[in-house]
Amino acid sequence: MPGKLRKPKFETSSQIPIDRIYGPDEAAKFPFTRGIYEEMYRARLWTMRQYAGFGSAAESNKRYKYLLASGTTGLSVAFDLPTQIGYDSDHPMAEGEVGKVGVPIDSLEDFDILFDGIELAKISTSMTINATASILLALYVAKAKKQGADLKKLSGTVQNDILKEYAARGTYIYPPQASMRIVTDIFSWCASELPSWNTISISGYHIREAGATAAEEIAFTLANGIAYVQAAIDAGLAVDDFAPRLSFFFNAHINFFEEIAKFRAARSLWAKLMKERFGAKKPESLKLRFHTQTAGSTLTAQQIENNIVRTTIEAMSAVLGGTQSLHTNGKDEALALPTEESARTALRTQQIIAYESGVADTVDPMAGSYYVEYLTSQLESRSTALIGKIDALGGSVKAIEASFLQDKIAESAYEFQKKVETKEEIVVGVNEFVESGIAESPTLKIDPSLERDQIARVRALRAKRDESKVRSALSDVERSCSDGSNLMPRILTAVESFATLGEIADAMRKVFGEF
């Protein structure tokens, strides 16, 4: 991991010296259970990446600049639902949803506003987008080109994980096979054009949010990873050419030690899968690099201050588990998008863990814990068994089509909720230690005029752009969908001609259909 030591020397507040590692020196060694870098956070802290986006591109730009000024070290963009499922803001399906759960993006014009005053060459950006990932990535590249950035050095992540949408979340557009083709087109194009870009963030987060257990989160996420790797190989890509740019996205849930063990088990299992199943040779191909977000599903609308404690516990488990990047939820997110004050407290939580707690001063603080080692072993074996069942069904795509993943998630969610109802599981402030009459905290409200302004802006864009250039670019996108050529160059040309997101998605719908 690059960078100088964060401190001149490492010691406790009582001046007890802290060694780099304790026990066998197994950090950065296959199967990477103890971490993927030799120095871990002693050399460089994880990226503190606060997820944000709401209202309009201009409002979101203000929040990004606020977070960067407050110490965020990476951006994470939330998109609204119309953007996620390929509709422009003036489409009838978008009514009432524009800017509500993320930023609305219709065209390159919106990206110009979203990243105004932010140099993309100097910041790492994560975009949580799946069905329209190819379009949003093209918009990001187009904006970076306008800024004069070196695309070879552009860093960030596009989620691009469509399989978990079918299994757990629902923001898909096209049938699975067409969607997988788009994913592998992104892999191939980025390998040559954006070599420092993470081409996918294979996500267990939404699987866990839907109700999966820790073992199921590992198994279903890695099974989806297997499907993506196999699809890329089937498309003619060499595993060591694309595997180093794969990344993952996990949930940090509330059971502290199980979560630490989950991250360790996932790292070990992925390394073995890549080496033994796919014959990957490069060490970087074997390393499971992951972003973590604290659990939204554990946040409660009751006694929301308790959520700060929950988020702190969850964030600490991610750090002790060796995450490369982290988002901490705001205390009010069970009610609304976080206010500026809540976002600041969430970021400060990470900073206190990083700079005050001491947990980042040695490579693997949990090394040698009999309990953590036991849980790690149990989770790896249970996850392996689940992957075996998915393999027997023909892999993730077939398992999703057979509803195996969905049924397992629903069953686990139901079992947990039954335990809450019977108080076998205690949720403080919800089924025990309940209080009434607690004053409500102010929540973020989205100004309804922002939707009207966004609709007016996209309509004005269509009226002033070169329509013949747009039509030609969209025809090329359709042609690429049909002839099997890589979609990314055609989509990039389309966004640079100011074709809208919805128009590009519709061009693809004409050929691929909808699921």
pLDDT on residue 437:
72
pLDDT on residue 195:
94
pLDDT on residue 441:
77
Q: How confident is the model at residue 263 (pLDDT cuts 50, 70, 90)?
A: very high
The residue-averaged pLDDT of 109-113 equals 97
Structure tokens at 474: 């969209």
Q: What is the mean pLDDT of the chain?
A: 95
Q: What residues are paired with 241 via a beta bridge?
A: none
Structure tokens at 267: 């790292």
Are 248 and 201 in contact, with CB atoms under 8 Å apart? yes
Are 164 and 224 in contact, with CB atoms under 8 Å apart? yes
Q: What architecture is the 40-421 domain classified under in CATH?
A: Alpha-Beta Barrel (3.20)
Task: Tell me if the bond preceding 365 is cis, omega within 30° of 0.
Answer: no
Task: Spell out a b/e string for 108-142, using b for 16 or more CB atoms within 10 Å of the CB, else e.
Answer: bbbbebbbeebebeebbbbbbbbbbbbbbbbbbbb
Structure tokens at 240: 């060591």
pLDDT on residue 5:
58
The residue-averaged pLDDT of 417-432 equals 97
Backbone torsions φ then ψ of 198, nearest 5 degrees: -80, 115
Return all residues near 46 (Cβ < 8 A) that are at least 6 apart.
Answer: 319, 323, 324, 325, 326, 354
Q: Which amino acid is at 192?
A: S
Q: How confident is the model at residue 171 (pLDDT cuts 50, 70, 90)?
A: very high
Domain ranges of the chain: 40-421
For residue 3, pLDDT over 50 is answered with: no
pLDDT per position as a tens digit, 205-258:
999 999 999 999 999 999 999 999 999 999 899 999 999 999 999 999 999 999
> What is the strand order of the sheet 246-252 is part of?
197-198, 156-158, 125-128, 74-78, 47-52, 325-327, 290-294, 246-252, 200-203
pLDDT per position as a tens digit, 15-35:
999 999 999 999 999 999 999
Q: What residues are paired with 325 via a beta bridge?
A: 47, 291
Detail the DSSP E strand segments found in 129-286: 156-158, 197-198, 200-203, 246-252
Q: Is 248 helix (H, G, I), strand (E, B) or coil?
A: strand
Q: How would you classify the pairing of strands 74-78 and 47-52?
A: parallel
Q: What angle do CA 10, 11, 12 make, to 5 degrees?
A: 140
pLDDT on residue 442:
84
pLDDT on residue 436:
84
For residue 185, pLDDT over 70 is answered with: yes
Distance CA 203, CA 210 (A): 12
Distances (CA, A) of 500 to 89, 112, 138, 268, 515: 10, 14, 12, 43, 22
Q: How confident is the model at residue 4 (pLDDT cuts 50, 70, 90)?
A: very low
Distance CA 226, CA 470 (A): 37
pLDDT on residue 485:
97
Backbone torsions φ then ψ of 52, nearest 5 degrees: -155, 155
- How many angstroms from the chain centroid is the CA of residue 107? 22
pLDDT per position as a tens digit, 84-104:
999 999 999 999 999 999 999
Sign of the dihedral defined by the CA atoms of residues 380, 382, 383, 389, in that order: positive
pTM for this structure?
Answer: 0.93
Distance CA 297, CA 217 (A): 14
pLDDT per position as a tens digit, 51-84:
889 999 999 999 999 999 999 989 999 999 999 9
Quickly list DSSP for 301-348: SSSTTHHHHHHHHHHHHHHHTT-SEEE---TTTTTSSPPHHHHHHHHH
Structure tokens at 484: 């099997």
The residue-averaged pLDDT of 498-513 equals 98
pLDDT on residue 439:
67
